[in-house]
């Protein structure tokens, strides 16, 4: 495999950012930056060998410094929403930033996608990895504990992107790391993903209040527009007269994955029949937020000058359930001091 390293410019603070590109020589090429540990591009062939970049994003570093939609982003300390922007741990109430109405979203105004990371490259015969590491200090974003975090991206010869999350805290804390890439298997500049066909291994989802905070209910998807247990186009039911879809403006919901805890399993598959590309998602996390870019206004200054519009990408954010820190019946996102947070998510591409 080939690895290319080049300058990605200076941040507004004057920090040097670097762009790393891994080419597996088998038709997959992925670029990352140490600014935010973000995925910048992901190229893969279609059924005829034609290459396209399959993730939404920006050409220049400045785009990632703003990046309201979170294109390609490493998300933490806590992905998704925390109701009321607060939680209680060990009898102490922690107040967080209210950056989503009255709630906390993706950690706060300055997420993990807005820092420079230390970088290590690991090259083997059949896999090449890039690992980004950083210390998130005690009370950063309002969360307790000095948290040593690492995110390792690995590219394999069979066109897999493997994401391994690892963290250790010196105090009890909460943690929920994910990646927020927007995928479009027809190419980042090809418009709507509503004709992509999707399958999700989930018998239930977590309904929410109007501001998208889970109520604590686990609802069966049977007979609802939320059911993706058989392949169907994303757009088939997205505008159905169903309260959760009205609340999210489309799909913006956590699915309760039907997997064995602790085991990495296939949980979703996305197909673009026109290009022949498909993407399989594997994880050992208990939930996955399906987000169909419902809130994307036309975003300017994107790759190649293409303005991204509503529903021009789809996210598969593997995670703990949203607001699990405030709902005792949900799988817990509490990380005890000295314990290891280890999770893996895999995106596998084929045609």
The answer to whether residue 301 is catalytic is no
Q: Which of 78, 106, 180, 196 is catalytic?
A: 180
- Of 213, 25, 226, which is closest to residue 126 (Cα–Cα)? 25
Token pair listed for 256: 């309760």
Q: Which of 43, 131, 140, 317 is catalytic?
A: 317
Three-class DSSP labels, the chain:
CEEEEEEEEECCCCCEEEEEEEECCCCCEEEEECECCEEEEEEEECCCCCEEECECCCCCHHHHHHCCCCCCCEECCECCEEHHHEEEECCEEEECCCCECCEEECCCCCCHHHCECEEEEEECCCEEEEEEEEEECCCHHHCCCCEEEEEEEEEECCCEEEEEEEEEECCCEECECEECCCECCCCCCCCCCCCCEEEECEEEECCECCCCCECCCCEECCCCCCCCCCCEECCCCCCCCCHHHHHHCCCEEEEEECCCCCCCEEEEEEEECCCCEEEEEEECCCEEEEECCCCCCCECCCHHHCCECCCCCEEEEEECCCCHHHCCCCCCCEECCCCEEEEEEEEEEEC
For residue 55, count other CB atoms closer than 10 A to its CB: 22
The answer to whether residue 253 is catalytic is no
> Rounded to 10 degrees, what is the CA torsion of 73, 79, 81, 85?
-110
Residue numbers annotated as active site: 180, 317
């Amino acid at each position: 495999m080939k690895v290319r390293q080049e300058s990605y410019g200076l941040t507004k603070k004057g920090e040097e950012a670097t762009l790393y590109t891994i080419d597996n020589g088998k038709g997959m090429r992925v670029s990352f930056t140490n600014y935010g540990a973000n995925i910048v591009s992901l190229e893969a062939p279609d059924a005829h060998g034609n290459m396209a970049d399959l993730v939404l994003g920006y050409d220049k570093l400045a785009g990632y410094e703003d990046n309201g939609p979170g294109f390609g982003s490493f998300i933490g300390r806590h992905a998704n929403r925390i109701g009321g922007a607060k939680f209680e741990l060990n009898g102490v109430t922690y107040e967080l930033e209210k950056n989503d109405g009255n709630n906390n979203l993706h950690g706060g105004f300055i997420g993990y996608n807005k820092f420079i990371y230390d970088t290590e490259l690991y090259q083997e015969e059949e896999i090449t990895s890039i690992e980004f590491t950083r210390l998130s200090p005690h009370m950063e974003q309002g969360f307790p504990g000095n948290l040593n975090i690492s995110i390792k991206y690995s590219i394999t010869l069979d066109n897999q992107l493997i994401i391994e999350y690892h963290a250790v805290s010196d105090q009890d804390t909460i943690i929920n790391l994910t990646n927020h890439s927007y995928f479009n298997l027809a190419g980042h500049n090809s418009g709507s993903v509503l004709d992509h066909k999707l399958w999700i291994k989930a018998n239930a989802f977590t309904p929410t209040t109007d501001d998208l905070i889970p109520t604590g209910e686990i609802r069966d998807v049977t007979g609802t527009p939320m059911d993706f247990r058989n392949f169907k186009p994303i757009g088939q039911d997205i505008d159905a007269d169903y309260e959760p879809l009205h609340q999210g403006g489309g799909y913006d919901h956590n699915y309760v994955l039907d997997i064995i805890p602790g085991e990495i399993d296939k949980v979703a598959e996305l197909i673009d029949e026109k290009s022949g590309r498909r993407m399989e998602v594997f994880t050992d996390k208990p939930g996955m937020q399906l987000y169909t870019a419902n809130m994307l206004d036309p975003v300017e200054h994107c790759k190649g000058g293409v303005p991204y519009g509503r529903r021009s990408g789809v996210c598969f954010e593997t995670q703990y359930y949203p607001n699990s820190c405030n709902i005792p019946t949900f799988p817990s996102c509490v990380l005890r001091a000295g314990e290891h947070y280890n999770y893996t998510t895999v995106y596998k591409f084929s045609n």
